[in-house]
């Protein structure tokens, strides 16, 4: 699939944004389950995604269940991927792969279509792992009382 882009940066960037939207939806689903377990849930739908991930991570760690270690690691990866996605989406991407940060203190970097596609694939995989951990491990840790909605 990488060769199909032949240096085109736009299509893989589109995959990053599409897959990140799916991932944010899965994080919203995770927070829905976690918030349902609280006596006074915190509304999080309008929060920036980084804040949502931090809240989910906090709530999962608070459960102190070793079955959730994989979910904790996946949410930590989601934080890192969010930073990389933000750098790419909020930076200025020029032909040839030069990425200029809006922060003047950050040096330009060069990124290839393959790098962007790999980021998209990591985001999609991370979303899938969050879904899997939510369905398999979180519900067990919560005693099976929380509902599971579909995934993407």
Using one digit for the tens of pLDDT, what is the confidence trace for 23-66?
999 999 999 999 888 777 778 888 999 999 999 999 999 999 99
User: What proportion of the chain, given as a percentage, has pLDDT over 70?
Assistant: 89
pTM, entire model: 0.85
- At 2, is the pLDDT very low, low, confident or very high (cuts 50, 70, 90)? very low
Nearest-angstrom CA–CA distance, 43 and 73: 24
Query: If DSSP codes are grouped into helix, strand and coil, which group holds residue 92?
Result: strand
Other Cβ atoms within 10 Å of 83 Cβ, number: 11
Predicted local distance difference test score (pLDDT) of residue 45 = 83
Least confident of 81-85, 91-95, 105-109, 147-151: 147-151
- Of 81, 86, 110, 87, the C-alpha closest to 97 is 110
Answer left, alpha or beta for residue 109, where phi above 0 means left and psi between -120 and 50 means alpha.
beta
pLDDT tens digits, one per residue of 127-144: 999 999 999 999 889 885
């Amino acid at each position: 699939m990488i060769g199909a882009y032949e240096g085109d940066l736009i299509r893989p960037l589109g995959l990053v944004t599409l897959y990140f939207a799916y991932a944010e939806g899965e994080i919203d689903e995770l927070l829905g389950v976690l918030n349902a377990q609280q006596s006074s849930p915190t509304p999080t739908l309008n929060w920036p995604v980084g804040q949502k991930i931090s809240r989910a991570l906090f709530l999962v760690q608070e459960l102190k269940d070793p079955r959730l270690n994989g979910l904790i690691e996946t949410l930590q990866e989601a934080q890192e991927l969010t930073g990389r996605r933000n750098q790419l989406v909020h930076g200025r991407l020029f032909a040839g792969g030069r990425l200029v940060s809006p922060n003047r203190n950050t040096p330009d970097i060069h990124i290839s279509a393959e790098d962007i596609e790999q980021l998209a694939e990591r985001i999609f995989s991370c979303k899938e792992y969050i879904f899997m951990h939510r369905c398999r491990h979180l519900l067990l840790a919560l005693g099976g009382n929380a509902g599971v909605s579909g995934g993407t």
